[in-house]
Structure 1
């Protein structure tokens, strides 16, 4: 029970209003250590409740220890605007019975309006690294009084190329602070590189790996000859599979924009989400999906992390993810919080090896599936015919070697002229080296 964690009564009231009854595993593991002021490095599966795990300690400090003249006390960095808006909304709900103010600071909003809001001195800021860095450079924001720093989805921020921005922001923060880093996997190639500059003697909490994140997700592959056949298979799946909401992932914005209208023309309720859309457009699409006015989202990887949308029970990879980690984050949009989900990958010939590497990373083999009537001719890479001892099929055939030919000797012209002519016997030589004289007859 949350009461056992000694939370402030106003926070308990907010938690009850949200319908949370008892802490999740990650909250039970994180909250006691966070209340002690420890720096933490946490890995937990998608949908496990880690947002509350880092918000409650910040709110608890703000409620218990009022500091009306201080600057921003808590900073939460997220990889995307969508996740920042989502975390900010959750924080506002938890702080609804307190006087703590929360402000999202992301790109896509008018800079001057944003600066005016920052001047009102919110206790907690949730933002993206690029826009926060811009405010620091323009001296419109400072973190001299910062008490808490949180990196949410740290591995995703590094994957998106925000390493320099993240380190710029963290270096600008007050050194005497409590820091927490949350990542889908602590073995991510880039996370270890920034730990020494962000955390001090951190406690490690690892509740999941890439393999455990997808335990409740059934994974299938459907082979296709090309993108044209993939599109037919995608339309069939969206019309015939049972689902409440579905997300279709592509690797490019252009393809998302092409697929959306073509699927809409077939009567499907589809929206498109990618980084080229401005913030109001992105917010509108997500609200349409959450409200059920559309039930299919065509998206690039901007939606692969952090979006918590209820009822997503089908994920289709039109384009295969470029790495095992990215695949986990995509399919993790379904099967959240212990529920079952279905993830389907449409595989073209040039994606077979990538599929195999993802299977090795996850230590599992995806279920192969076909759709009657729209099967492709591609059935996987052709197996090379093995023979002899290497194949284990019989004795090694002995090669029949031709007898070695005598080397050809080049004939000299003068030798050819002498062919057929009788050779004279050589004149005997005497012992003293001179030819003996012929006797006269």
Structure 2
């Protein structure tokens, strides 16, 4: 299928081509026709499969077909974080440059007076985080009475952050009959399935299997480490390999992220750190340097797993294995995007084994254990042994040179 087959306006096709979209991804092929037909959609798709364009293109088409001649917004997009909200705005600006829809941003980290000015001056689309928008609605400072098109993006992340009630309360204030689409990278955990069914009981359902998606385009690897010093040495060796052009490194805690960034800098590896304590301007500046290749390694907590525009990451490295499988999927989704290949590396100390088991159970497959020449673990781990000797748990691989 080509974008021309989706019955989109010529201006949108040109904008998609200019942005480098060659042919629609699977989620775009399935979601765009349904949304153009006015149906509610529940879509489960992995990070990096083009889901933002899957709802932005039909939204823009609707605004082209029925221009908004009033001051009140016709479309509402809810996102869990301000970073994701700004990334969605960025995509709309690129794809909608022909009709240039007016957008009001309502997120944390911005002065309320500026956000009110966007709304009062009139807009076509509101992009918002749920809590901030609900506050404005309850104070009668935001009017959603003419909303026709609602998108709930990364619903699983919203529920993880406790935003479910705010989303429900915002939607309850809209009295018009609006079309709804809900996008989530996974339906597992935090009651996403129940939440989605409550909001969209009759929605058309689309599922793009995240685990299979990564298996096709992302090489997933495990290196076993004896201790912290061994893990740090493995980390440096992976980053120094010739195929590692850029590395997004995840830690479970901000203190660990700071420690890892300092270690990499001590090894003459250019590195920056990003976590929740940094303000929005600092995050943007640090990720900008990484995106432009001025910094080879970006060390982050899961604040960077969603919403940051990092289109060309060659390696995702889990310095800490995440606590849950769905978090692993979001992390790994930062590489191998838009059909590119990528590498996901997991550095596993003994205390990480339980988390690794959860990840493998979630994605439905064991991850192969590799060895780094000169950095083979001294201790034998029971994770390399199968409970059933006839069915080895891991795929044997030859030692890999630095």
Give the equivalent residue in structure 1 for 2:396. Answer: none
Q: Distance in 2 between matches of 1:114 and 1:36?
A: 32
Judged with a 3 Å threshold, the aligned counterparts in structure 2 of structure 1 residues 256 and 191 are, in CA distance, closer, same or farther, namely same
Higher mean displacement: 6-15 or 200-209: 6-15
Match of 1:259, SS?
A: helix
Q: Deviations over 1:22-45 (max 9, x none)?
A: 322222211221111100011223
Match of 2:31, SS?
A: helix
RMSD: 2.4
Q: Is residue 210–residue 325 contact of structure 1 (8 Å, CA) maintained in 2?
A: no
Size of the alignment, in residue pairs? 386
Match of 2:76, SS?
A: strand
Q: Distance in 2 between matches of 1:133 and 1:274?
A: 26
Q: Is residue 305–residue 330 contact of structure 2 (8 Å, CA) maintained in 1?
A: yes
Higher mean displacement: 190-199 or 317-326: 190-199
Judged with a 3 Å threshold, the aligned counterparts in structure 2 of structure 1 residues 179 and 54 are, in CA distance, closer, same or farther, namely same
Q: Distance in 2 between matches of 1:22 and 1:344?
A: 29
Q: Deviations over 1:66-106 (max 9, x none)?
A: 23224111111122222211111110112211141123322
Q: Distance in 2 between matches of 1:219 and 1:211?
A: 12
Displacement of 1:173 = 2.8
Higher mean displacement: 5-14 or 268-277: 5-14
* 1:199 partnered with 2:200: yes
Give the equivalent residue in structure 1 for 2:310. Answer: 309
Displacement of 1:310 = 2.6
TM-score normalized with structure 1 length? 0.81
* 1:44 partnered with 2:45: yes
Give the equivalent residue in structure 2 for 1:361. Answer: 362
Q: Distance in 1 between matches of 2:242 and 2:80?
A: 32
Give the equivalent residue in structure 1 for 2:29. Answer: 28
* 1:345 partnered with 2:346: yes
Displacement of 1:308 = 4.2
Judged with a 3 Å threshold, the aligned counterparts in structure 2 of structure 1 residues 208 and 111 are, in CA distance, closer, same or farther, namely same
Q: Distance in 1 between matches of 2:139 and 2:265?
A: 44
Q: Distance in 1 between matches of 2:71 and 2:204?
A: 28
Q: Distance in 2 between matches of 1:353 and 1:16?
A: 45
* 1:80 partnered with 2:81: yes
Q: Distance in 2 between matches of 1:276 and 1:138?
A: 29
Match of 1:176, SS?
A: coil
Larger Cα-atom Rg:
1
Q: Is residue 263–residue 270 contact of structure 1 (8 Å, CA) maintained in 2?
A: yes
Give the equivalent residue in structure 2 for 1:428. Answer: none
Higher mean displacement: 371-380 or 164-173: 371-380
Q: Is residue 184–residue 210 contact of structure 1 (8 Å, CA) maintained in 2?
A: no
Give the equivalent residue in structure 2 for 1:106. Answer: 107
Q: Any gaps of 5 or more consecutive residues in structure 1?
A: 392-441
Match of 2:314, SS?
A: strand
Match of 2:211, SS?
A: coil
Q: Distance in 1 between matches of 2:375 and 2:19?
A: 46
Q: Distance in 2 between matches of 1:354 and 1:15?
A: 40
Give the equivalent residue in structure 2 for 1:420. Answer: none
Q: Distance in 2 between matches of 1:65 and 1:48?
A: 28
Q: Is residue 274–residue 299 contact of structure 2 (8 Å, CA) maintained in 1?
A: yes
Match of 2:70, SS?
A: coil
Q: Is residue 144–residue 173 contact of structure 2 (8 Å, CA) maintained in 1?
A: yes
* 1:90 partnered with 2:91: yes
